[in-house]
Structure 1
Amino acid sequence: MAVQPIIVTPDLDRVQEFYAQVFGAAEVFRQPAEGPVFYKTLRVGDAELGLVAEEVDVSAPPRITLSFYVEDVDALLPLVEPAGGTVRGPANDMPWGHRVAHVFDPDGNPVNLTQQL
């Protein structure tokens, strides 16, 4: 069994570029193959992230947070804003053994950068 989160976005290219720049996400599938794209699958490490191009109110409160387990939170944090995201604050060491930084992608979706300590 696997779970694939899917982000609905009015600006598929901008959101895809954010995940490519910050996490190295690579496009592995698009629908349709030719012409305006409705859906893309991005490979991020061993996981997949879906993107759907659709008009959506990005100002609505998010109801899910994506957490990406990374090698070095502090190395990725400076990539967030140049890629169109927002940094909510510095990384912090958590008592359960993770270093975490909270950021937003370009659409305002909350994303955790999480590192095992």
Structure 2
Amino acid sequence: MPTVQPILLTPDAERLAAFYIQVFGAKQTSREPAEGAVFYIGLQIGDSELGIVAETAIEPHSPTRALLSIEVADADATAVKVEAAGGKVMGPANDMPWGQRVAHTQDPDGTPVNLTQNLLK
């Protein structure tokens, strides 16, 4: 069964993570990279996960500030299905340093959907 993780895009990941920590008692579960300018912060709120990605080109309150990250068995094979179903593949899947293969796609309405394949299993 796929796992769906909401991810918020923001020009200031540290500020947004602090908001969810302060308001909802979120716990930081991961950070990429571990030191330096942050790209990704993983939070846990209760039994749910929330990802925050630093995207300096995005404006707060813009309509594309969220994306779905869906874990799949094979990112490349699933990307083929995306186009067949009327979506769009933004480029080839790439292996990420944190152990995932990721294909960036969009659903038919243009909502960003990352297809994530765990390479560490």
TM-score, with structure 2 as normaliser: 0.48
